[in-house]
Structure 1
Amino acid sequence: MILSALAFYLFAIILVFSGLMVVTARNPVHSVLFLILAFFNAAGLFVLLGAEFLAMILVVVYVGAVAVLFLFVVMMLDINFAALRHGIKQHLALGLAVGIVLLAELIFSGTALAPQVTAHIAQAGAAPAGATNTQALGAILYTRYIYAFEGSGLILLVAMIGAIVLTHRSRVGVRRQVISAQINRSRAETIEVVKVPTGHGI
């Protein structure tokens, strides 16, 4: 239990520090990298709680998709990457230290903490007998919290529709393709036949 408590404080301190650096870092690229570090430490806290499925989903979905999407958005900003590459040797030690911390957390949570977490969950009886962590989570999510789950899905649907509407709105000075107007054009509006006399230009 002492090992689990030490791991909890380690993950929590790094998570809080990473969250603060996300909102205080001046460089957007550094903010995204600290966000990835925060996701990894949050996944470590889920592992300590015995929710390894949530930890894996957090790493796969957020680190593998959302953080990469943020990174692409940041790359489209007007950032002087030459200045970033110029200072790469200056921050090389910090980058290696963060990488070593991540590797140590993954090894530590996967080897040293796994037996203790399994024993703790078995004693607490969090999951029904014969049910895996994923099955227990699905049973709770789709029964007790079904209305909250459907509400969150509805909010995401409204956000998606709002993003599409904002993207397709008509703005002055911006030319946009209108497929219906292209299809409904007449032949006179589309084609102009010009007869050029022999030996003369247009």
Structure 2
Amino acid sequence: MDYQTGFFYLFSALLLFAGFRVITARNPVHAVLFLMLAFSQAAALWLLLKAEFLGITLVLVYLGAVMVLFLFVVMMLDINIEGMRKGFWKHFPLAAFLGALVAAELIAVQWAGFPALSMSPDAPGTGVNAPDYANTKELGLLLYTEYLYPIEVAAAILLVAMIAAIALTLRQRKDSKAINPGLQVHVRASDRLVVVPMAATQKSQPTEAAATEEGKV
């Protein structure tokens, strides 16, 4: 067994362990940290497959941005863990059935294997066999030409998700300055200004003793 096979088994074992701990961790923050570990091991597997662009993208995008955002959101939401555990066994049969179904599908695909792809040989000096070939450049040209519209849609979805995450962190917080537009629309002038009737008061005249004391001062 060469060193690449050893690294493959090491990264795969850590990936499976981290994925298992994501769904079994009792603390949501610990689950997010294990998910970050799983993504890092998946990026290492991509590097072993010589897919440097996918590995670097997984580290920069998911570990460097998305998962850090998830971690801060989970920490700021102050989730009630005891409330989340209620009804666990009620939904456990459905969750176990779906998990077994997904596992059976994965086993069936792996058992059947993947058919060998027939690729026509490239011309000398062109294609994958070219000395100046770069998969990152080819992926960039493909993403921003043929798949430009899906990339823009994905960017809009990520923007909406980021705004929703920020809105969730400001929900039901005592120091939040958020306003309800519905209440502002239905406001009435009588709710903002209240006229309280008061009896007229007259300034009292100073007594003789008080005037004498003021003269002494």
TM, length-normalised to structure 1: 0.50
CA-CA distance at 1:67 after TM superposition? 1.7
After superposition, give the CA deviation of every residue in 1:27-61 in whole Å (9 maximum; x if it has no partner).
Answer: 11211110111111011011112122221221122
State yes or no: 1:61 paired with 2:64: no
State the alpha-carbon separation in 2 of the partners of residues 33 and 127 from structure 1. Answer: 40
In structure 2, C-alpha distance between the alignment counterparts of 1:42 and 1:55, rounded to whole Å = 8
Q: In the alignment, does 2:41 pair up with 1:41?
A: yes
| Structure 2 CA distance for partners of 1:35 and 1:126, relative to 1, 3 Å | farther
TM-aligned CA distance change 1:34 to 1:50, over 3 Å: same
% of aligned pairs identical?
A: 50
**AA of the residue aligned to 1:139:** L
For 2:202 and 2:58, how far apart are their aligned partners in 1? Answer: 72
Is structure 2 residue 9 aligned with structure 1 residue 9? yes
**Separation in structure 1 between the aligned mates of residue 62 and residue 23 of structure 2, nearest angstrom:** 18
Equivalenced residues, count:
139
1:148-167 correspondence to structure 2 within 5 Å = 148-149=150-151, 152-153=154-155, 156=158, 163=164
Q: How does 1:51-200 map to 2 (within 5 A)?
A: 51-76=51-76, 77-78=78-79, 126=128, 128-143=130-145, 145-146=147-148, 148-149=150-151, 152-153=154-155, 156=158, 163=164, 176=179, 178=181
| CA separation of 1:159 and 1:68: change in aligned 2, threshold 3 A | closer
C-alpha distance in 1 between matches for 2:131 and 2:156:
34
Is the alpha carbon distance of 1:75 and 1:130 closer, same or farther for their aligned partners in structure 2, counting shifts above 3 Å? same
Name the CA distance, whole Å, in 2 between partners of 1:15 and 1:38. 5
Structure having the higher Rg? 2
Contact 1:127 1:133 in 2 (8 A): no
Residues 79 and 137 (structure 1), Cα distance of their counterparts in 2 relative to 1, 3 Å cut: same
Q: Structure 1 pair 146/55, CA: closer, same or farther in 2 (3 Å)?
A: same
Structure 1: gaps spanning 5 or more residues: 81-124, 168-174
Task: Please give the root-mean-square deviation of Cα atoms over the aligned residues, in Å.
Answer: 4.1
The answer for the alignment partner of 1:22 in structure 2 is: 22
Once residues 156 and 142 of structure 2 are traced to their aligned partners in structure 1, the CA distance between those partners, rounded to angstroms, is: 19
Tell me the amino acid that sits aligned with residue 179 of structure 2: R
Paired amino acid for 1:28? P
Q: Give a deviation string over 1:126-183, Cα, whole Å, max 9, x none.
A: 475413332122133345555654554565577679x49x98xxxxxxx7265xx79x
Which letter maps to 1:21? R
* Cα distance change on mapping 1:52 and 1:23 into 2, 3 Å: same
Residue type at the aligned position of 1:54: L
Q: CA deviation at 1:5?
A: 2.0
